[in-house]
Amino acid sequence: MKSRIIISETFDPAYNLGLEEYLIETGEDILYLWQNDNTIVIGRNQNPYRECNINKMKEDGIKLVRRRSGGGAVFHDMGNLNFTIISKKHEKNIEENFQLVNKALSYENIESVFNGRNDLHVDNKKISGNAFYEDEKIFCHHGTLLIDVDMDKLSSYLTASKLKLKSKGIESVKSRVINLKEINSDISVEKIKAALIKAYEKDHEVSEIEYFTKETMEENPDLMKKIQRYNSWEWIYGESPKSNVYFDRKFRWGIIEFEFYISSGKIKESKISSDSIINEDFQALSQAFIGRDFKKEEGIKVIEENVESEEIRRDLIEAIKNI
């Protein structure tokens, strides 16, 4: 079966994320290129009130959407290019995908390296943030490429975790990233698109490039259901409890934040947020805490019963023991 290259011609984040989800469900091998204009995209398990300057975003007309995958919050404007690589699941998906992106950037004389977590760096500065989603058969890898992003906007709308900054020994979001145009002034979004297509076509047989417009998407009822969900308040914000207990921890796999509302010794409301790069159902874990006694042994029991990842389970149990 031939692979597909798809380019979105809309800059609306709900449409683009809805199309991405729709393409994942086809089960085909796909390179999907897309752009969002003036948008913050948060990870599946993040709390928007902690990650973003919501009031300033509303004042300036900045859109907010939540993706299906984990990882951290990112700012998109027309100086940023998003790529999604959808493929059959196997042991080397991540390695092969980063090789493809590095190869594409090498065509423009950019030497990028994978930092071992979920970023691509040039000279120790981030030029690409990445996140992953997978099911039993399909692996989805999507990432950003900072080409000519407005860095002032990036730093004013994102509020980086103090834990993250402390662990990296740096002071701001802006200090951690660099535009590709600062490295090579001749680079443009269109050139990087062409480079990604060239790199993908070297390893995949592709018949033609397909373009999706907003109008094309609106003709598909199944796709529109997904788009409407990405636009919904329930999906973007969810329920944020009034918390009287808050603590956070940083681990190899990411930062996790616990917010509990305690009454009469029991957890009445719970919210767990994380930028974890490991796929874990933190929403289910959050729900499992509700109604439990606010005791260490109860917390450990909840984690043992509800966390699938052995690494996350071990780290959280150790963290609760040391609170």
Statement to judge: residues 211 and 82 lie in one domain: yes
pLDDT score for 162: 58
pLDDT for the residue 46: 86
Tokens (6 digits) for 33: 């290129």
Q: Report the pLDDT averaged over residues 155-181.
A: 66
Is the pLDDT confidence value at 102 over 90?
yes
What is the average per-residue pLDDT within 7-33? 97
252 plus 227 within the same structural domain: no
> Do 53 and 124 fall into the same domain?
yes
Q: What is the pLDDT of residue 54?
A: 85
Q: What is the pLDDT of residue 78?
A: 97
Q: Which of 193, 219, 236 is the last residue of a domain?
A: 236
Domain shared by 181 and 228, yes or no: yes
> Are 189 and 225 contained in the same domain?
yes
Share of the chain above pLDDT 90, in %: 66
Write the secondary structure of 211-227 as one string of H (helix), E (strand) and C (coil): EECHHHHHCCHHHHHHH
Residues 235 and 231: their CA atoms lie apart, in Å, by 7
Least confident of 40-54, 157-171, 249-263: 157-171
Residue 242's pLDDT band (cuts 50, 70, 90)? low
pLDDT score at 239: 57
Q: How many domains does the chain have?
A: 2
The whole-model pTM stands at 0.78
Model confidence at 198: pLDDT above 70? yes
Question: Are residue 230 and residue 261 in the same domain, yes or no?
Answer: no
Residue 264 sits at the vertex; the CA angle it makes with 263 and 270, to the nearest 5 degrees, is 35
Q: Which tops the pLDDT comparison, 116 or 98?
A: 98
316/200 same-domain check: no
Please indicate, yes or no, whether residues 139 and 30 belong to a single structural domain of this protein: yes
Q: Range of 315's domain?
A: 245-321
The pLDDT score that the predictor gives to residue 201 is 97
Q: CA 162, 81, 70, 127 torsion: positive or negative?
A: negative
143 shares its domain with 264: no
Nearest Cα to Cα of residue 255 among 130, 166, 321: 166
pLDDT at 167 over 60: no
Residue 173 has pLDDT above 70, yes or no: no
Range from 13-22, 111-120, 160-169, 170-179 that averages highest in pLDDT: 13-22
pLDDT bin (cut points 50, 70, 90) of residue 171 is very low
Query: pLDDT (tens digit, 9 = 90+) per residue, 43-82?
Result: 888 888 778 888 899 899 999 999 988 888 889 999 999 9
* CATH code, 80: 3.30.930.10
- Cβ-based neighbours of 115, under 8 Å, separated by 6 or more: 121, 126
pLDDT surpasses 70 at 172: no
| Domain edge (last residue) among 236, 257, 278 | 236
CATH assignment of the domain containing 305: 3.30.390.50
pLDDT at 168 over 50: no
- In this prediction, residue 243 carries a pLDDT of 60
Q: How confident is the model at residue 322 (pLDDT cuts 50, 70, 90)?
A: confident
Radius of gyration, alpha carbons of the chain:
20
Q: Is the pLDDT of residue 235 over 50?
A: yes
Is 122 or 237 the better-scoring residue by pLDDT?
Answer: 122
74 and 23 together in one domain: yes
Considering the chain, what is the average pLDDT of its residues? 90
The overall longest dimension of the chain from CA atoms, in Å, is: 64
Distance between CA atoms of residues 62 and 76, nearest Å: 10
pLDDT (0 to 100) of residue 170? 37
Residue 44, CB-side half-sphere exposure with 13 Å CA sphere: 16
- Answer with the one of 206, 236, 266 that is the final residue of a domain: 236
| Domain co-membership, 195 together with 49 | yes
The residues pairing with 75 across neighbouring beta strands, listed in sequence order, are 40
- 138 and 252 part of one domain: no
Task: Determine the Cα–Cα distance for residues 223 and 305; give it in Å rounded to an integer.
Answer: 35
274-301, pLDDT tens digit by residue? 999 888 999 999 999 999 998 889 999 9
pLDDT at 161: 61
